Structure 1
Amino acid sequence: MRGARKRELVLLAVVVVVLLGLRTLNNNNNSSSSGSGSSTSTGTGTGDGGSGGNGVVPRGQGDDAPVLEDLRRMQAKQDMLAQQQKLEAENAEKERQLQERQWQAEAEAQLKRKQEEQQQQQQQQQGQQQQRAVAAAAGGGAWWQPVHLELDLPKNIRDDPILNSRESMYRQYGFNLKKSNELPLAHDVPDIRSDECKAITYPRGMPKSSVIIIYYNEPLSTLLRNVVSVLNRTPPELLGEILLIDDNSTLPELQLLPKHLKKLKVPDGMIKLFHRHVHDGIVGARVRGAQEASHPILVFLDSHSEVSPGWIEPLVARIHEDRTRVVVPNIRGIDLDKLDLFPGELWPPAKGSFNWRLTFTIVPANIDRDLVGDGHPHTRPIRSPVMPGGLFAIDKDLFFQLGAYDPEIKYYGAEHVELSFRVWQCGGSMEWIPCSNVGHIYREFNRFSVDPKLKSVNVGYYLDRNDIRVAEVWMDEYKKIFYDFRHLHGKEFGDVSSRRQVREANQCRSFKWYLDNVAYDVFVPDIDATPGQIASKDEAQCLSNNGVKDDGPVTLQSCAPHNDQQQWVVSPRGYIYLNHYPRVTLLCLRVDTIALVGRSDALTFERRGSRLHNKADPSSCLARTPDNRLHLQPCAAQSSDSASTVQTAALQAQVWEFKPAEHAPRRIAAAGVPPGTEVFVMSTGKSGTCLDNMQQQRGVPGLYGCHGGFTQQWVLDTEGHLASATMADAYIGLSLAVRQGACTPDQDDYMWIHKEKRFSPKLQPTHCLTRGKQDDVQILPCDEDSDAQSWSFVAAPKNY
């Protein structure tokens, strides 16, 4: 900028010099003319070169006047430009100073919060020590201070060659055992609860718990660190005992466990160790622990866990209020290398679910339907159809009333899904508790390949058998779907009559009731569905999944009868879904309708209260899908006492909160937003997500955790275009694209109209599924003469 200014001034100086030279030349010429008698002037004053009172402007000076006027205008323009540059520099400096003050304020606030958290944690530790002192004085015990214990491993175990290589260590143990052996058994972990959770006070007089830790070949350091964490972070009035159940381990270092336990200064009977003489897995070990327990609440922990501050109070409180509740803590991952607890609040919330292979899955929770109880949303329990299995609390009497565990479920797997179905169908409930946090090492290894007692066992047979027993007892007619996806028809599963008697004795509900009322967001495939290929008219090209696991495009491939990626089910309900699980998610064809587009393709909206109505069709509103995408759907009627759950959910999906954004004027101006335009953040309210441009000008916008930054700032211009405030020419508009995504029930963008060999999306019935020229698949306006829109369904072979 300064270089350009300098060049302009130099050019101006040159022009001035040239003009002055011309002016001198003209004056000289006039003087010559006057001296030779060629002048025609009749004035009697001072002559042609004078400035007499006759008002005549001299010729040379009159010619210069327009040029000098141009020079003055140029100078004024340069002055104005300089002034504008000065103002811009001042504004930029002010903005920089404002940003620095904001950063400084944020840093100071963060430091203050950290100091307050440390102070609160110290106070909490002091309070726990005082409570333990009171409990010890009342009970005559010596356990009232934090427990400390040193790991005492002989040199041959510490120097095991397996620990010298990360590859060998992970193959054998699934995590950094060398690091675990070096860490203190009693060490500080951060209190990762939210401020709202920390503020909760729990009732006095709650019952004590029996904490049951089952283990098999668990390294001594992780097992003892788990025990020490329970002792140090559980109020003594809530901890009755710790039961360690050994499932017939073979790891030599575990012979040192009794010696270490004796060093712990805790009351007699606080820690009990039991050895099983068989090794048949999780179910047998947990039932043994429950049988040995002497307190009314059972808390099961995996052996490679570590509890955090405030972990047990919210679990016990929920069961204390209602004994039919089974509660699960927030299971927080522990870093496999550093063994640190992963920080951060788990929001938006999630819950456990299942797929039709009976695999446990984690899915987003519905804020309106799944959160229970009162209080701040971040503290409220979350209804969960299925639990992970390793960490939970349950009333002891309820556990045995509902049949404990199926004793024929062997080794590993299926027991958590079976218990979840059983609890819900037999009158109980299951909740994830956000204020309880327990760390867990998700080991990365093949547990069966390193188990010396399973070398001659066909583990796959038992894993299939376990799942079949669950389906046969609890899934009613829907077990057919399980059999179809697992291809387990006719496989042996043993006698389940005793488990069916448990169901009858407890008057348990049907699996359909469970699907309708608990797992309402699980997509239910057709029973006795007929899979097949969706092929071109000549059956040369077929619609293909092409290896997509979770979300992605659908393509065309040469048809092959036994290719799983080409086997689809065209449901009478309007769904088109893949006939196998690429991973853990069943995939359906859907149409994405909302994307970031140019202004010419943008939608226009009218803001009516908290909803955005489509101006082209005011009966449709901008809404959110359960999997956090945008689409247009019919505007739901206002909620009333008589409104159904589906109606209420549809309305909530269309409600937005428009919050003023703290924006940077220069960035907004650079995107073409006129000064004075309202800039806002579009929040989904209680779910804690906001509309986000995902740092792109084109593509699908997202719903992301609210932070209010530049990617989440939006404007609604005078014509009703919804545009990114910080990304030029990025508008919300229609852009039809066909993709594969997790099947979601009752969503119009997953629904298709199949008519006369054509497939049209329900949202755009005038458009058809079309084969492209590059093996791609598109959504284009329907054309009766287009062979590219004609499809045939070729049923799969009978032996498929």
Structure 2
Amino acid sequence: MIFNEADQEVRDTGYHQHAFNVLISTRLGYHRELPDTRDSQCQVKVYPAALPSASVVICFFNEAFSALLRTVHSVLDRTPAYLLHEIILVDDHSELEELKEDLDRYVREELQAKVKLVRNQRREGLIRGRMIGASHATGGLFAMNRKYFNELGQYDAGMDIWGGENLEISFRIWMCGGQLLIIPCSRVGHIFRKRRPYGSPGGQDTMAHNSLRLAHVWMDEYKEQYLSLRPELRERGYGDISERVALRKQLHCRSFGWYLDNVYPEMQTVANGNKPQPLFINKGLRRPKILQRGQLRNLATGRCLVAQGRASQKGGVVVLRPCDPRDPEQDWAYDEEGQLVLAGLLCLDVSEVRTFDPPRLMKCHGSGGSQQWSLGTSNRLYQVSVGQCLSVAQPVGPKGYVSMAICDASQAQQWQLEG
């Protein structure tokens, strides 16, 4: 496949906005052949003809146009028409122009009556977005009896955006008399991108908020073990949970201790005189292997990348200064995870929300994304999260500022990591 400069710009913009190669996605089109990866016994299995039709809910926020429509067509192309009642697209207040009039027109002219488009008037998040989609469904939601689906309660509407709802639904279903079954011939693929290409409103930590609600509603006395691992969350607010507590009482749900004994006994370990205790411990992460280390020198200026203040200052920007091989605060390590660690302390990080902000030194989180760099044979430092390269700020000034920029072949974007 041949790429020109325009393609490169599309690809870089796509990585920045969506964290995957949008150029390739667009060229794939809306219809894609996929291999059947099921076991051979599943391929000959015969199912009853009289199955209920299903409503499929697809929530999205700022999704790439081609990827969204390929998802829709995958459902249409691979589902027998008599089993598919409708597809409900829930737009969670997207900002991209291509998801406005262009999407309206495509749904109206190309997808016709099988697809409904629901637009949220504000950002609700994945959890409430699913509930909104379910409220618009007129078929058997996910081929499940609607009465049974609603009997055990829906998602916790007090949870925000994303995170923790998978655990909540598991605890609730098992503790309140239901079951979650593994169907071997049902294949579900879940692809995690290197980073989330969209943030939470206001940059809030929705995982912490949602986990607190989960712990206070469902975990009984065991929530103390969670809070002992996250003591900073003890005084943090988590909203009104009275409706969820009332739901648990109304459904006559069992205790979390019962859940640990009967559903997830693997979570327990023998301790304290052979008394089983939940095993909530942080297992030490393996330190990634260091591939290169030394000073990070810019070829255009001959200067080295250092902290503007101290190498231990979290949130501090990085600048160019005269190279000094005796200075330990000019020592960078590049590891197998793509992290650039200064003086063994902090990682070079970029903002995924405020992309014009300069790179800063932040605590290493080990999750790639904003801290994942590619140092290739071209000597460019490519930032995977934003799809740009580390560059000397133009024009070059005495303060030695650096910034992120669209990748090119200039020496301003060329770096050598040398010991």
Q: TM-score range by the shorter chain?
A: 0.5 to 0.7
CA distance in 2, matches of 1:468, 1:294: 33
Give the secondary structure class of the aligned counterpart of 2:87.
strand
> Which residue does 1:293 correspond to in 2?
137
Q: State the distance in 1 between where 2:68 and 2:39 align.
A: 28
Q: 1:197 aligns with which of 42, 45, 57?
A: 42
Which residue number corresponds to residue 582 of structure 1? 284
- 1:445 maps to which of 177, 183, 195: 195
Q: Give the equivalent residue in structure 2 for 1:229.
A: 74
Within a 5 Å distance, the mapping from 1:133-532 to structure 2 comes to 162-165=9-12, 169-255=14-100, 256-264=102-110, 269-296=113-140, 298-299=141-142, 316=143, 394-449=144-199, 454=201, 457-460=202-205, 462-487=206-231, 488-523=233-268
CA contact (8 A) 1:427 1:508 kept: yes
CA distance in structure 2 between the aligned counterparts of 1:226 and 1:508, rounded to whole angstroms: 37
Q: Alpha-carbon deviations, 1:263-311, whole Å to 9, x = none? A: 43x6x53110000001031121111101000112x23xxxxxxxxxxxx
Q: How many residues matched?
A: 279
Q: C-alpha separation between the residues in 1 aligned to 2:50 and 2:280?
A: 54
Separation (CA, whole Å) in 1 of partners of 2:258 and 2:103: 47
For 2:276 and 2:263, how far apart are their aligned partners in 1?
22
Q: Which runs of 5+ in 1 are unaligned?
A: 1-157, 300-315, 317-393, 527-570, 585-800
Structure with greater Cα Rg: 1
Q: Which amino acid aligns with 1:470?
A: L
* Per-residue deviation, 1:217: 0.4
The aligned amino acid for 2:139 is H
Query: In the TM superposition, what whole-angstrom CA distance separates every residue of 1:125-162 from its partner, at most 9, and x where no partner exists?
Result: xxxxxxxxxxxxxxxxxxxxxxxxxxxxxxxxx95875
Q: State the shift of 1:411 in Å.
A: 1.1
Residues 7 and 23 of structure 2 are in contact (CA less than 8 Å); yes or no, is this contact kept in structure 1? no
Question: Counterpart in 2 of 1:140?
Answer: none
* 1:42-81 equivalences in 2 (<5 Å): none
1:409: how far off? 0.2
- Provide the secondary structure at the position in 2 that maps to 1:289: helix
CA RMSD of aligned residues (A): 2.7
Q: Which SS does the other structure have where 1:521 is aligned?
A: helix
How many angstroms apart in 1 are the aligned matches of 2:137 and 2:40? 34
- Gap change, CA 1:412 and 1:484, over 3 Å in 2: same
What amino acid does structure 2 have at the position aligned with 1:409?
M
Matches within 5 A, 1:614-625: none
**C-alpha separation in 2, matches of 1:220 and 1:439:** 20
Question: What SS class does the counterpart of residue 237 from structure 1 fall into?
Answer: helix
Give the letter for the 1:231 counterpart: L
Query: What does residue 790 of structure 1 align with?
Result: none
Over 3 Å counting, the alpha-carbon distance change for 1:219 and 1:169 in structure 2 is closer
Whole-Å Cα distance in 1 between the matches of residues 132 and 239 of structure 2? 22
Q: How does 1:90-109 map to 2 (within 5 A)?
A: none
Q: Distance in 1 between matches of 2:238 and 2:91?
A: 27
State whether residues 172 and 445 of structure 1, in contact with CA within 8 Å, keep that contact through their aligned partners in structure 2: no
SS in structure 2 of the partner of residue 422 of structure 1 = helix
Q: Quick one: percent identity of the two aligned structures?
A: 36
**Deviations along 1:542-571, whole A, 9 cap, x unmatched?**
xxxxxxxxxxxxxxxxxxxxxxxxxxxxx5
Q: Distance in 2 between matches of 1:224 and 1:503?
A: 39
Could you tell me how far apart the structure 2 residues matched to 1:276 and 1:161 are? Answer: 33
Q: Does the 8 A contact of 2:125 with 2:161 survive in 1?
A: yes
- Residue type of the alignment partner of 2:176: C
Aligned-pair CA distance for 1:396:
2.5
How far apart are the structure 2 equivalents of 1:180 and 1:473? 42
What's the secondary structure of 2:81's corresponding residue? Answer: coil
Instruction: State the Cα distance separating 1:235 from its structure 2 match.
Output: 1.1
